[in-house]
Structure 1
Amino acid sequence: MALTQGPKLSSEATTTGIARQEVLERYEELLIEQKSSPDHVFISGSSFRELDPNLVVLDEKAREHPRDWLVPKKIRATAMVGAYCFLSPFASTIFAPSVHLVMADLNITDSTLGALAVSIFLFGFAIGPLVLAPMSELYGRRLIINCGNLVFVAFSIGAGFVQTPAQLFTSRIFAGLGGSAALSIVGGTVADMWDLKARPKASGLVMLGPVLGPILGPVCGGWMSEAASWRWTLWVPAIASGILSVAGYFFLPETYAPRVLQHKLQKMKTLHPDKQFYTVLDLTQSPSGLRFLFSQFVRPLVYLAVDPALALASIFYAVLFGVVYLVIVTLADVFGHGYGHSVGFVGTDFLSAGVGMIIGTFGTIRVMEMIFKKDTTTGQMKYKPESRLLSCIVGGILSVGGLFMYGFSAMRTHYIVPLIGIAIFACGTMNIMLAIQIYAVDGFKYPASAFAAISVLRCLFAGFFPLFGPKLFVRLGVDWGVGLLAFLVLGLGTPMITLLYIFGPRLRKIGVQHMSRFEGDSG
C-alpha cells in the first residue's frame, strides 16, 4: 500500500507546484500592467482562478471585493466612517467657547494653558496616525477604527470627571490618540471602495467630517456650557461615539481587500482542513520581524522626509489647517467681547464657517467631476493625480479674500460682515483641503500612510497655532493679525500648488525611488 501511495502523493505535489508557478507568473504580469494605471486596485486573482482549485480569491460574481460592492453598501460604509471622522474632531473644539469656564473650575490662570486644553487633543491626533495608519495596512481598517474609538470614548468620559489640569491634559491627549483612528484610515478606506471617477463624491462625504467637526463643535458646546456644564461637552460626544461603536461593530464591514481575502482563506481552511488553500498574498515573500514592523510605523514620517510632492502638499495643508484653528480662537473674543454675544450665541456664530465649508465641498466635487470628465472624453486616460489641485486656484482666492474681509471688518461694521468673511474663507479652505486630501489618496502607493503623513503635520500645526494666537492678536490686532495669516496662505500656497501641478509627477517618481530603497532596506 505504501509503495503505491508515495508516487501518487509526489505526482500531486508536482502538479500543485506547477499550478502555483502558473498562478505566480500570471499574478506578476497583472502587477506589472497595473503600474501604468492611475488607479491601483488590489488583485485577488479572480481572473485566473481556474489555474488552481486551491487558489482562494475574492469572487467578482459574489461581489466579495470592496470595489465590486453594490453602491448602497459602499455609501453605508463610507457614511459610517464619515461619522467617526466627524465626532472626534467635533470633540476637539466643543468646549472652545467656554475655555474660561474650564480655567475657572480647574484654577488655571495662564491663558496659554487654557488654550492647551483644546490643543493637546490635537497632539494626540498627530501621534496616533503614525502607528494606526500602517497598522490598518497590516490588520485592516475595521479593527483599527473600532478599537481606537473605544479608547476615545473611555478617555472622553474620564475627562469629564477631572479635578486638576494634569488630569484634564492626560485624558485629552489619550482621547485624541483614540479619536485619530478614524482619520488614520479614512484615506485608505475611500481608495478601497471607490474608483477615480466616484472618488470626489465619496471623499467629499467622508472628509467633510474632519473639517466640519471642529467648526460645529463650538456651536453645540457654547449652549451646552451655558445650560449645563462644560463637562457635558466631553460626555455628549463620548455617548454618541459609544452608540456609533456598537453600530460599527455590527454594520461596518472590512474594506481593506487583502484583509477580506485573508478572512476568506481562514474560513476555507477551517471548513476544509485537508485542502492546501492559499492566496496571491502567499506567493510573494512578506517581510516580518520587529524591524519590518518598525518600518511600517515610521512610513508616514519617511513619506514626509523622502517624497517631495507629499511634503509640499502636507506643509501647505498643515499651515491652512492651523490658520483655521487660529481663526476659531479669535471668534470668542471678536463676537463675545467685541460684539457682546453670549457664550451660546458665539457658538452659533461658528455656523457661518460650517455653511461655507458645505458650499466649498459641493463646489469642489462638481469642479473635480468636470476635470475628470474632460481628461477621459477621448477614451484615453490622460488623468494624473495633480489634476485634483486645479480647483485650489479658486480656493486660494476665496481663502485669502475671506480672511481680509473678516480681519478688516471685525468690530468695525455690523457683525454679519465678518461672518460672511468667515464663510468665504471656510469655502475656499474646504476647497483646498479636499483637493489635497484626494491628491494624497490618488497619488501615492500607500494611501492610508500618505493621508496619515498629512494628518501628522496638520494636527501639529492646528495644536501649536492657537497657543501663540492670543499674543499675535494682542500685538497686531485682529485686523493685521488676520491679514498676516492671509499673506501667509497666499505666500505659501501660490508657489507650492504651482510646483506640485507642474512638477508633481516628477517629484512623485523621486519619492517612489526613495521609498523603494527604504522598503528594500527594511525588508
Structure 2
Amino acid sequence: MEDIDLKSSPTLDAALEHESGRNLVYRHYQGLLKEQKDQPDPVFIDGHTFQELDPNLVVLDGDASEHPRTWTFKKKVRTTAVIAAFCFISPFASTIFAPSVHLVMEGLHITNGTLGSLQLSIFLFAFAVGLLFLAPLSEMYGRAIIIHLGNLVFIAFSVGAGFAQTPAQFSVCRFLGGLGGSAGLAVVGGCVADIWDLEARPKASGIVMLGPILGPILGPLIGGWMSQGASWRWTLWLTAIASGVIAIAGLLWLPETYAPRILENKLRKVCVACSNDHLYTVLDLRPRPAGFGYLFSRFVRPVAYLALDPALVLASAFYSYASVFALGYGHSVGIVGTDFLAVGIGMIIGTIGTIKAMDAIFKKNGPEAKKNYKPESRLLSCIVGGALSIGGLFMYGFSALRTHFMVPLVGIAIFAMGSMNIMMAIQLYTIDGFKYPASAFAAISVTRCIFAGAFPLFGPDLFEKLGIDWGVALLAFLILGIGLPLVLLLYVFGPRLRKIGVARYEKFEGTSE
C-alpha cells in the first residue's frame, strides 16, 4: 500500500488542528461545568474564557454584553417590565368579565349556572394545559418566540370570543385564548433566572409580579363598568387591543433572554457570513442523549418535575392553596370595586415587605452570602406570610356582615399581604432551586391554575352550606394544618429532596452518569 504523506494535505492539517483545539476546549469546558455544579446560581457558560484555544469556537461577546447577565441595568429593567406587561394581560382577561357573567349567560342563552361558571374556569384550565408544553418549548427555542406567538394566538381568539354567538363558540375561543395567554406565565420564571443574579432576583420578581397583581384588580373594576355602559363583548375586544399594544412594545424592547438560544442564533449568523465549516459552540460539546426518555422529557418536563421531584410537589401544594384562596374568596363573596382595591393595596405592601425580607435574609452572611446561599432560605418569609393569611381570613370571615365594612376590608388586605409573600417566596425558591426554572415554575403554576379554575365551580356551594364565616375559616385551617407544615418540611428537608429529584430526573431523561 502506498504511504500517505499527511503533511502534504493542507485540508487534513486544518482538520487535525481544529480537532486538537476542540479537544482542548472540551476539557476546559467540562472542568468549568464540574466547578459550577455545586454553585447556588449557575450561569450558562458560553466559553468566552477559552476562546483563544480554538478560533473556531463561537462565543458571546463580553464587550458587546451579549450574555443576558452582562446586560446594562437599564436593559434588564426594561426587559423585565415588558415581561411583566405580558404577565398582566392574561390575568386581566380572565377576570375582566367576571362581574358580568350573568350578562354573558343572557347573551349566549346559557341557563345552567355551572355552565356559566365554566366560562370563567375554562380560561384557567387552558392556562394549565398551555404551561405543560410552552415552558419546555421555551427551553428549546427561546423565551421571546414563545411569548410573541402565544400573544398572537391570544389576540386572535379574544377577538373571536367577542363575536361568539353560541356557548360552544365562546368556550372554544376562551380555551384557545387561554392557551396563548399562558405564554407569559410559562416563561417568566426562566426569564428572571436568565437575567438576574441571586441578590437582585427578589426585586426583579417584585417587578414581574406587578402584572399578576394589577390584572385581577383592574379587570373586574373595568369590566363591570364596561359591561354596564357598553357590552360584555367589549371586555374581550379591549383585552385584544391592550394585548396588541403590549405586542408592539415586545417587538421593540423584548430581546431574547435565553443565553443558549442567543448563542445558537449567533452561530447561525456567523456561519452565513463566512464559509468556515468548522465553527461550533460549547452547546456542541454537551452530551446529546437520543433515548426516548430524553426526547419525551423535553416536552413533559413540568409533569416530570411534579412526578419525580418531591421538593417541588410540596411547593406546588402550598402554592396552589394560597392562590385558590385568593381567587375563591374573591369570587365567592362578590368582591368588586373597593374590595378589589383592598386586595391590591395588600399585595403591594406584601411585595415591598417580601423584597426587604429577602434582602435581609440573603445579606445576613455578609460577603459569604452567595457562597453559603441555599434556595430554601427563600421559604423563611412564608412563616410570616402564612400567619398573615390565616389572621386576615379569620378577620374577614367573622367580621363580614357583622361590623363596619372597613373591618372585613382590612382583613382582605392583610390576607393579600400574606398571600403575596407566599407566592413570591415559592416563586423564588422554584427559580433558584431547579435546573430548568421555566419548567419548574410552570409545574407549580399548572396545579395552581387547575385549582383556581375549579374553585368557581364548587366555591359557591361551599359558602352556601358553611356560611361566609366558617367557609373562610375552613380555608384558614387548611393553611394552618397543611400549608405551614409543608413549608417547614420543605425548609428542613428541601436540599435532600432536591438531590433525590435531580437523580431521578437525570435517570429519566438518560443524562445520568
User: TM-score, normalization: structure 1?
Assistant: 0.94
Partner of 2:205: 203
- Structure 1, 131-140 or 229-238: larger mean CA deviation: 229-238
Query: Of the candidates 424, 442, 449, which is equivalent to residue 452 of structure 1?
Result: 442
Write out per-residue CA displacement over residues 230-252 of structure 1, whole angstroms, 9 at most, x where no aligned residue: 11111111101011112212321
| 291 and 371 in structure 1: CA distance in 2 versus 1, 3 angstrom threshold | closer
| 351 and 426 in structure 1: CA distance in 2 versus 1, 3 angstrom threshold | same
Partner of 1:506: 496
Per-residue deviation, 1:291: 6.1
User: Aligned partners of 2:453 and 2:115: how far apart in 1?
Assistant: 12
Per-residue deviation, 1:366: 0.5
Write out per-residue CA displacement over residues 364-388 of structure 1, whole angstroms, 9 at most, x where no aligned residue: 0000000000134446721100000
Partner of 2:296: 294
User: Aligned partners of 1:179 and 1:317: how far apart in 2?
Assistant: 20
Partner of 1:60: 62
2:187 counterpart letter in structure 1: I
User: Aligned partners of 2:369 and 2:153: how far apart in 1?
Assistant: 48
Are 1:233 and 2:221 an aligned pair? no
| 237 and 38 in structure 1: CA distance in 2 versus 1, 3 angstrom threshold | same
Per-residue deviation, 1:349: 2.4
Per-residue deviation, 1:6: 4.8
User: Aligned partners of 1:378 and 1:53: how far apart in 2?
Assistant: 37
Per-residue deviation, 1:214: 2.1
Write out per-residue CA displacement over residues 47-83 of structure 1, whole angstroms, 9 at most, x where no aligned residue: 0011011100011121110000000000111100010
Partner of 2:184: 182
Conservation of the 8 A alpha-carbon contact between 2:293 and 2:510? no
SS in 1 for 2:373: coil
1:169 counterpart letter in structure 2: S
Following superposition of structure 1 onto structure 2, how do residues 340-379 of structure 1 map, counting pairs within 5 Å?
346-378=336-368
| 189 and 521 in structure 1: CA distance in 2 versus 1, 3 angstrom threshold | closer
Conservation of the 8 A alpha-carbon contact between 1:54 and 1:275? no
Conservation of the 8 A alpha-carbon contact between 1:441 and 1:450? yes
What stretches of structure 1 of length at least 5 have no aligned partner?
336-345
- Structure 1, 484-493 or 374-383: larger mean CA deviation: 374-383
Partner of 1:493: 483
Conservation of the 8 A alpha-carbon contact between 2:131 and 2:186? yes
User: Aligned partners of 1:197 and 1:458: how far apart in 2?
Assistant: 27
Per-residue deviation, 1:147: 0.1
Query: Of the candidates 410, 422, 439, which is equivalent to residue 429 of structure 2?
Result: 439
Per-residue deviation, 1:347: 3.0
User: Aligned partners of 2:299 and 2:152: how far apart in 1?
Assistant: 21
Q: How many residues align?
A: 510
Conservation of the 8 A alpha-carbon contact between 2:388 and 2:417? yes
SS in 2 for 1:56: coil
Partner of 1:263: 265
2:19 counterpart letter in structure 1: G
SS in 2 for 1:33: helix
| 499 and 73 in structure 1: CA distance in 2 versus 1, 3 angstrom threshold | same
| 53 and 378 in structure 1: CA distance in 2 versus 1, 3 angstrom threshold | closer
User: Aligned partners of 1:329 and 1:455: how far apart in 2?
Assistant: 20
| 127 and 107 in structure 1: CA distance in 2 versus 1, 3 angstrom threshold | same
Partner of 1:389: 379
Partner of 1:429: 419
Conservation of the 8 A alpha-carbon contact between 1:216 and 1:354? no
User: Aligned partners of 2:173 and 2:369: how far apart in 1?
Assistant: 54
1:216 counterpart letter in structure 2: L
Are 1:320 and 2:322 an aligned pair? yes
Write out per-residue CA displacement over residues 170-223 of structure 1, whole angstroms, 9 at most, x where no aligned residue: 111111100000000000000000000000000111123224422331121111
Per-residue deviation, 1:494: 1.6
SS in 1 for 2:171: helix
Write out per-residue CA displacement over residues 12-44 of structure 1, whole angstroms, 9 at most, x where no aligned residue: 211111100000000000000001100010000
- What CA RMSD, in Å, does the superposition of the two structures yield over aligned residues? 1.8
Per-residue deviation, 1:311: 0.4
Query: Of the candidates 143, 146, 165, which is equivalent to residue 144 of structure 1?
Result: 146
Conservation of the 8 A alpha-carbon contact between 1:130 and 1:298? yes
Aligned sequence identity (%): 63
Conservation of the 8 A alpha-carbon contact between 2:503 and 2:512? no
User: Aligned partners of 2:128 and 2:8: how far apart in 1?
Assistant: 59
User: Aligned partners of 2:174 and 2:448: how far apart in 1?
Assistant: 18
Partner of 1:71: 73
Conservation of the 8 A alpha-carbon contact between 2:68 and 2:257? yes
Conservation of the 8 A alpha-carbon contact between 1:376 and 1:382? no
Conservation of the 8 A alpha-carbon contact between 1:49 and 1:57? yes
User: Aligned partners of 1:104 and 1:412: how far apart in 2?
Assistant: 34
Conservation of the 8 A alpha-carbon contact between 2:18 and 2:278? no
Per-residue deviation, 1:479: 1.0
Write out per-residue CA displacement over residues 312-370 of structure 1, whole angstroms, 9 at most, x where no aligned residue: 000110121111111111232xx6xxxxxxxxxx3342111011111111110000000
Write out per-residue CA displacement over residues 390-415 of structure 1, whole angstroms, 9 at most, x where no aligned residue: 00111001111111111111111222
| 347 and 163 in structure 1: CA distance in 2 versus 1, 3 angstrom threshold | farther
SS in 1 for 2:337: helix
What stretches of structure 2 of length at least 5 have no aligned partner?
none
User: Aligned partners of 2:495 and 2:287: how far apart in 1?
Assistant: 29
1:352 counterpart letter in structure 2: A
User: Aligned partners of 1:4 and 1:122: how far apart in 2?
Assistant: 66
2:62 counterpart letter in structure 1: E
SS in 2 for 1:38: coil
1:320 counterpart letter in structure 2: A
